[in-house]
Amino acid sequence: MGKQNLFKNLNKDFPASIVVFLVAVPLCLGIALASGAPLFSGIIAGIIGGIVVGSISNSSLGVSGPAAGLAVIVLTAIQDLGSYQVFLLAVVIAGVIQLIMGFAKAGIIGYYFPSSVIKGMLAGIGIIIALKQIPHAFGYDADYEGDISFNQPDGETTFSELGNMLNFISPGPLIIAAISLIILILWEQPFMKKFSFTKIIQGQLVAVITGLGLHLYFKNIPSLALKPEQIVNIPAAESIQGFFQQFTFPNFGAITSSEVWIVAITIAVVASLETLLSVEAIDKLDPYKRITPTNRELKAQGVGNLLSGLIGGLPVTQVIVRSSANVQSGGVSKLSTISHGVLLLLCVAFIPKILNMIPLASLAAILIVVGYKLAKPSLFKSMYRAGWFQFLPFIVTIVVIVRTDLLMGIGAGMLVAIFHILYENYKRPYHFEPEEHHDGETIKIELAENISFINKAGIMKTLDSVPEGSKLVIDGSRNKNMDYDVKEILDDFKEHAKHSNIDLEIIGLNFNHNSKPVKNFVEVVNNKNNNDEPVEKI
């Protein structure tokens, strides 16, 4: 993308980048805290994800940074490897593995996730975002920002926390969250869009500035004053030199350790899968319906993890929460992603004290709105109207994501979708209907170009329906590839036909268990006049 095109939508991309930046700050810190890593490592990953990955990637709206889905893996790995510096080496190696995956064109995996599962993932994440942020809006911050697991580190669950927070309500954060929500809702109303300033200034920014002002005002009112854990808390260096001293470097002496390589492969696989899932999801949210090249995305993520590990950052992936905030804030191109990284770098380096005055309650209000937009009731209605084939994987994905985590939810949704495909393949209407058959009619079954083991059940059901004493023609002249399993079924049926007095003719196929079908009867098929024969296509 040329420079001219990159800055073409600056008036939309830059305001969106501010919102993404505000959302990213507490998430970067919270995920670092949950990972048992230095807090600054989350900021490093956010900067690398924005500037480096954003520059290399061709994803127009995707935002990369530290991912909550990797927090448990990172926490366990740091403990098992013995030091954070050794863990950083695993992150570097993971980046190299992702680069190799990109060049090997492994990104094609992302295209095999059904739309119903991807939409379920978005809705599930949206519900989790909203549920997890409600306690922060009430001033109860026992659970870290960015947590998406059902079972929380504080011993509560996503649902039990909602009841528990009622015992720890803080009026100050509650007022700030309520006012922030009112601002965000008003900003979306048609009458507000008539004012030109609403197109320049994002409602999210107004909500944060209002929250910051209220925080300063409440300092003089003891009953409303915010506690330290209710505001952003970035490690603040006293000087630029102190800022650079927060960077950490990997221990390359452990490169021969098998444990390091196991962790690296785990991070590479999980981070790549989360990235590809996010790419599919955000492409669906993109108003312009652009398609992200997944192989290039894997390469960009590989470079990002390589650099993040080299300077002390957590692993990065493309992440749905920040990417969704980017879409909803009007971002158009990857400039918004890059700009959010630049803002993160500049603000953490030069004005961390100002960032440390932002109430988490204001950010909670922003994320609650993001969550609602991802899981709108209209989405559930449209998926229900699409039929059970779409709705069932969609709803299963949501339920499992909310009750466990992202990857488990995707896995459950995929299993339901695959089972449905197998079931539909078994009962699809190409099988022969015995009650509609008239004596003396020739039954003709045409085989498709490609037949796999997935078609076994349907083919067996079809052949089992052929009446005794009938004339059956199996036409394989169009077939180019057939699994051994299907060849075996047809071979067995030849023997069955002899005992069932079925006059069987197989054309276009020559079976040999050690070879592919051979087209040695095509001319005979073409010369036949089968217009009066009932044809069933497999």
**Low-confidence winner among 71-80, 307-316, 465-474 (lowest mean pLDDT):** 465-474
The answer to whether 70 and 314 are in contact (CB under 8 A) is yes
Four-residue CA torsion sign, 81, 84, 90, 93? negative
- Residue pair 40/235 in contact (Cβ under 8 Å)? The answer is yes
Question: Which pLDDT value is given to residue 421?
Answer: 76
Find the range with the poorest average confidence among 90-104, 331-345, 399-413, 454-468.
454-468
Distance CA 225, CA 206 (A): 21
Q: What is the mean pLDDT of residues 229-254?
A: 89
Which helix (H) or strand (E) segment holds residue 127: the answer is helix 115-137
Task: Name the band, by pLDDT with cuts 50, 70 and 90, for residue 465.
Answer: confident
> Can you tell me which residue has the tokens 């506690």?
227
CA–CA gap between residue 288 and residue 285 (Å, rounded):
9
SS (H, E, C) 287-355: CCCCCCCHHHHHHHHHHHHHHHHHHCCCCEEEEHHHHHHHHHCCCCCCHHHHHHHHHHHHHHHHCHHHH
Give burial (CB, 10 Å; 0-12/13-18/19+) of 223. exposed
The pLDDT of residue 434 is 56
pLDDT in tens, 315-361: 999 999 999 999 999 999 999 999 999 999 999 999 999 999 999 99
Per-residue pLDDT reduced to its tens digit, 273-325: 999 999 999 999 999 999 999 999 999 999 999 999 999 999 999 999 999 99
- The whole-number average pLDDT for the span 181-190 is 94
- Which DSSP category does 438 fall into? -
Q: How confident is the model at residue 226 (pLDDT cuts 50, 70, 90)?
A: very high
Angle (CA) 250 106 407, round 5°:
75
Question: Which pLDDT tens digit goes with each residue over 486-511?
Answer: 888 888 888 888 888 889 998 887 65
Instruction: Tell the residue number behind the tokens 């010369």, with chain if given.
Output: 527
Give the DSSP H/E element, type plus range, for residue 507.
Answer: strand 503-507
Q: Are 281 and 122 in contact (CB under 8 A)?
A: yes
**pLDDT surpassing 80 at residue 512:** no
Confidence label for 235 from pLDDT (cuts 50, 70 and 90): confident
| In the predicted structure, residue 89 carries a pLDDT above the cut 50 | yes
Residues with Cβ within 8 Å of residue 112, at least 6 apart in sequence: none
User: Higher confidence at residue 522 or residue 490?
Assistant: 490
Strand partners, 507: 475
Residue 455 confidence (pLDDT) above 80: no
How would CATH label the architecture of 434-537?
Answer: 2-Layer Sandwich (3.30)
CA distance 489 to 203: 64
User: b/e map of 50-70 (b: 16 or more CB within 10 Å)?
Assistant: bbbbbbbbebbbbbbbbbbbb
537, containing H or E segment: strand 535-537
Collapsing DSSP to helix, strand or coil, 18 comes out as helix
CA separation for the pair 338, 509 (Å, rounded): 57
Say how far residue 455 (Cα) sits from the centre of its chain: 30
Query: Which is more confident, 387 or 86?
Result: 86
Give the residue extent of every domain in the chain. Answer: 7-375, 434-537
Look at residues 284, 276, 286, 272 and name the one whose alpha carbon lies nearest to residue 61: 286
Distance separating alpha carbons of residues 272 and 101, to the nearest angstrom: 9
User: Can you tell me the distance from the alpha carbon of 168 to that of 486, in angstroms, rounded to the nearest whole number?
Assistant: 64
Identify the CA nearest to 66 among candidates 308, 355, 347, 291.
308
The answer to whether 364 touches 137, Cβ cutoff 8 Å, is yes
Q: Is 231 strand, coil or helix?
A: strand
Distance CA 166, CA 235 (A): 30
pLDDT for residue 515 is more than 80: no
Q: 219 and 225 in contact (C-beta within 8 Å)?
A: yes
The token pair that represents 391 in the structure block: 């709705």
Q: Which residues is 475 bridged to in the sheet?
A: 446, 507
d(CA 95, CA 372) in angstroms, rounded, equals: 34
Q: Taking the CA of residue 210 as centre, how many other CA atoms within 13 Å lie in the half-sphere pointing to its CB? A: 22
Mode of pairing for the β-strands spanning 535-537 and 481-482: unpaired
Rounded CA gap, 307 and 304, in Å? 5
Would you state the pLDDT for residue 432?
54
Is the pLDDT at 525 greater than 70, yes or no?
Answer: no
Q: What are the pLDDT digits (tens) for 475-486?
A: 888 888 887 888
Interior/surface letters 115-134, b for 16+ CB within 10 angstroms, e for the rest: ebbbbbbbbbbbbbbbbbbb
pTM (whole model) above 0.95: no
Token pair listed for 267: 């991070």
Instruction: Specify the pLDDT at position 208.
Output: 96
